[in-house]
């Protein structure tokens, strides 16, 4: 079973965030491999829109920003109400991430949709 373009793009966006924020240059090898995997799909006639890459990057960036705020709040003594609001906001972003990946799966007709039941991001 191969990895779908939606999962590859999602992983690419996370690796790109890690390269930028954590500064792990070794991850460039993984990023390049993921980019090559997308090119293989393009070579087989599967349309891969660059806008999907940008969209998932922004969604994952937003989620990371919220998680950073949550961690800062916990370290500074923890206003649990604020942490709870950030958690709920993070779940909303996670839902948007799943919806975006599902849309990519629909448009490429490659992969399996993410189905969540009794999950906080529903």
pLDDT digits (tens, 9 = 90+) for 67-110: 999 999 999 988 899 999 999 999 999 999 999 999 999 999 99
What's the pTM? 0.90
Residue 43 Cα distances to 23, 47, 108, 111, 121, angstroms:
31, 9, 13, 17, 35
Domain hosting residue 27, numbered range = 5-108
Q: Determine, yes or no, domain membership for 30.
A: yes
pLDDT more than 70, % of the chain: 96
pLDDT above 80 (res 116): no
**Band of the pLDDT at 4, cuts 50, 70, 90?**
very high
| Two tokens, residue 73 | 């709040």
- Residue 118, pLDDT score: 66
**Number of domains forming the structure of the chain:** 1
Report the CATH number at residue 67: 1.20.5
Q: Determine, yes or no, domain membership for 41.
A: yes
- Residue 17, pLDDT score: 95
Cα–Cα distance for residue pair 89/67, rounded to 1 Å: 10
Q: Determine, yes or no, domain membership for 53.
A: yes
Q: Determine, yes or no, domain membership for 122.
A: no
């Amino acid at each position: 079973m191969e990895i779908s373009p939606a999962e590859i793009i999602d992983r690419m966006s996370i690796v790109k965030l890690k390269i930028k924020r954590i500064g792990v240059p070794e991850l460039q090898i993984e990023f390049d491999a993921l980019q090559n995997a997308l090119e293989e799909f393009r070579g087989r006639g599967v349309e891969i829109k660059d806008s999907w890459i940008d969209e998932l990057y922004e969604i994952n960036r937003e989620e990371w920003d919220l998680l950073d705020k949550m961690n800062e709040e916990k370290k500074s003594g923890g206003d649990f109400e604020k942490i709870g609001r950030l958690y709920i906001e993070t779940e909303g972003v996670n839902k948007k991430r799943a919806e975006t990946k599902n849309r990519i799966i629909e448009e490429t007709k490659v992969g399996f949709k993410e189905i969540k039941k009794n999950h906080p991001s529903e």
